[in-house]
Amino acid sequence: MPTMESAAAAQELTAWIEEFEAAAKRPLPLRVRYAFIKTYRPVLDDESFRAFDRTADYRAWCEAALPSWLGYGRV
């Protein structure tokens, strides 16, 4: 006799497979459009263009100007 947990897991797997199959039937341009989510990145997205003379200048700017959660700092 299956447990409630295994039945719930089976239902979840079935729902996941149905969603996957429905997504696979969509045209490729629509799938690509839904595949990427635009997320605003503070400071990085505020200017359309930046140029640095040296990589060291870029790295120093990243450490000084960008929030740490963006992941551009040194480890």
Distance CA 49, CA 24 (A): 37
Distance CA 44, CA 35 (A): 22
**Same-domain status, 73 and 58:** yes
Residues in the chain, pLDDT under 70: 1-2
The whole-model pTM stands at 0.50
**Same-domain status, 75 and 44:** yes
What's the domain count of the chain? 2
The string of DSSP letters for 4-64 reads HHHHHHHHHHHHHHHHHHHHHHS-HHHHHHHH------TTTTTSS----SSHHHHHHHHHH
Residue recorded with tokens 């295994």: 6
**Same-domain status, 30 and 49:** no
Domain that holds residue 51: 38-75
**Same-domain status, 19 and 49:** no
